[in-house]
Structure 1
Amino acid sequence: MSFTQQLRDENQDIFQAIFNHPFVDGIGKKDVPNESIAHYIKADFEYLNAFMRIYGIALSKSNKREDIRFFGEQIQFVLNSESHPHHNFCDYIGVGYEELQGHPLPPTADHYIKHMMYHAQIGSLAETIGALLPCPWTYLEIGYALMNKYKPEKHHPFYPWISFYADERFGKIVMEMRNRLDEFAENTSRDEQKKIKEAFRKSCQLELAFWEMAYTCEDWPMKELVIGR
């Protein structure tokens, strides 16, 4: 069994909880509150900006040209392609994409970004990938799960979102990340593998928490301090 398959098996509980979450399942049922969708886009726009920067850190740690190429391509993919699912959500709720950009991060999204940045800054490249991988991997499986459960057709309001993440191209990205992590894991110590597993599971937990954050429109308990008052 590959290292990444071990990771997947060890985190089946969280993956299943994500599939069952009312926001995620609601995408298939066409039943997600508009305010939750808006809250999700506000946080995810900033999250993906951070994700690209962390890809950049991974690129800077890469010694092989194929790794440099891969992480460079992923930055371009997030920048140019992953706005399409956001546009689907925006069209559904009737809000312009630009209106949902530049908002402060809710607590969970803020913590998630700092968690990944921590591993990227102080950990190995393998540890960095371990922290990054749950995001695309869970989305790929969400796409598969919604396709299999609801069999949406093109008139489904969230068909563009579901089909984007269930697409073969997205699956190839996940598999390339898995292959890299499997290769690195073969040459790492048990202590290093433990760090990767911990980073991966925490990111899985935060993926689940991100959906809950969006669904409940989580915010900071106290308003931001206004300097100068």
Structure 2
Amino acid sequence: MSLSAQLWSDNADVASEILAHPFVRGIADGTLPRVRFATYIAQDAFFLESFARAYALALARSPDTATLLALADLITGVREELALHASYAESWGIDMAGVEPLDATSAYTEFLLATAGTQDVGVIYAAMTPCMRLYAWLGQSIDADRAGPYAQWVQTYADPEFEKIARVLEGLLDDQAADSPAVRRAYRRAMRLELAFFDAA
């Protein structure tokens, strides 16, 4: 079993807790109040900008051309996610200007940027992979036909292209990270921060 698969398996408890979370269940059955989703979209856009910066810090330390190009593609993926959020903002009247991060958002972004700025690339990938793998898994676990106004959100993360992007990051983790306590701590910490993010939304 690859390292990325082992880490995902070892954190299945948190993933299951997130899938069963009332916020996620509200997306899945289309009953989540729109005002809560609007708050989540604004917070997630703020988070994604820090996620892109963490990729950029990893890119600056990329050991070879293949890694550099892979990270550039991953940054492009974040740009596409931000475009989805912008489309929600436009159609739903969500004010994205001057978003003040919630405590859970700040905790997650600070963790990512501190990790990207101080740790080796293997630990950086371990801190970033849970977000990508979790969202791909959520998209594949939820029926878009039942999600009502949130069908587009589900379809985005269920798309095979998003799965492909998640696997690119997992490939970097598998190729460049050791199975170390630091890697395992970073992965687990990111999973717990994902749960806290949904708690706060």
TM-score (norm 2): 0.93
Confirm or deny: 8 A CA contact 1:45 1:101 kept in the other structure.
no
Within-5 A mapping of 1:174-213: 174-185=166-177, 188=178, 193-213=180-200
8 Å contact 1:89–1:158 — kept in the other structure? no
State the match for 1:223 in structure 2.
none
Per-residue deviation at 1:37? 1.1
Counterpart position of 2:6: 6
| Residues 52 and 75 in structure 1, CA contact (< 8 A), matched pair in contact too | yes
CA shift at 1:85, angstroms? 4.9
What's the offset of the Cα at 1:80?
3.5
Partner Cα separation in structure 2 for residue 40 and residue 27 of structure 1? 11
Q: Residue type of the partner of 2:3?
A: F
Greater mean deviation of Cα atoms: 55-64 or 78-87: 78-87
Is residue 44 of structure 1 aligned with residue 44 of structure 2?
A: yes
CA distance in 2 between counterparts of 1:107 and 1:90 reads: 26
* Aligned partner (choices 101, 112, 119) of residue 116 of structure 1: 112
Q: Percent identity?
A: 27
- The answer to which structure has the higher helix fraction is 2
CA distance in 2, matches of 1:48, 1:19: 21
Larger radius of gyration: 1
Deviation at 1:86, TM superposition (A): 5.4
Match status 1:95 vs 2:88 = no
Pick aligned residue for 2:145 from 144, 149, 152: 152
Letter of the structure 1 residue corresponding to residue 33 of structure 2:
P
Conservation of the 8 A alpha-carbon contact between 2:29 and 2:148: no
Aligned length: 201
Give the distance between the partners of 1:86 and 1:28, measured in 2 at CA.
21
Q: Does the 8 A contact of 2:127 with 2:190 survive in 1?
A: yes
Checking the alignment, whether the CA contact within 8 Å between 1:52 and 1:78 is kept in structure 2 is yes
Q: 8 Å contact 1:55–1:71 — kept in the other structure?
A: yes
Q: Distance in 2 between matches of 1:80 and 1:71?
A: 14
Residue number in structure 2 paired with 1:165: 157
Q: State the match for 1:34 in structure 2.
A: 34
Instruction: Describe the SS at the equivalent of 1:158.
Output: helix
Q: Which runs of 4+ in 1 moved over 6 A?
A: none
Q: 1:107 to 1:206 in 2, by over 3 A?
A: same
- For structure 1, the residue ranges without an aligned partner over 5 or more in a row are 215-229
Deviations 1:61-113 (A, max 9, x none): 1011111111112222212444215534763xx314xx223211110100100
State the secondary structure of the residue aligned to 1:172: helix
Report the equivalent of 2:70. 70
TM-score by length of 1: 0.82
Shift of 1:28: 1.3
* 1:218 counterpart residue number: none
AA of the residue aligned to 2:151 = Y
Contact 2:89 2:96 (C-alpha < 8 Å) held by counterparts? no
RMSD, matched Cα: 1.8
Relative distance call for 1:86 and 1:22 in structure 2 (3 A) is: farther
Q: Which moved more, 1:32-41 or 1:159-168?
A: 32-41
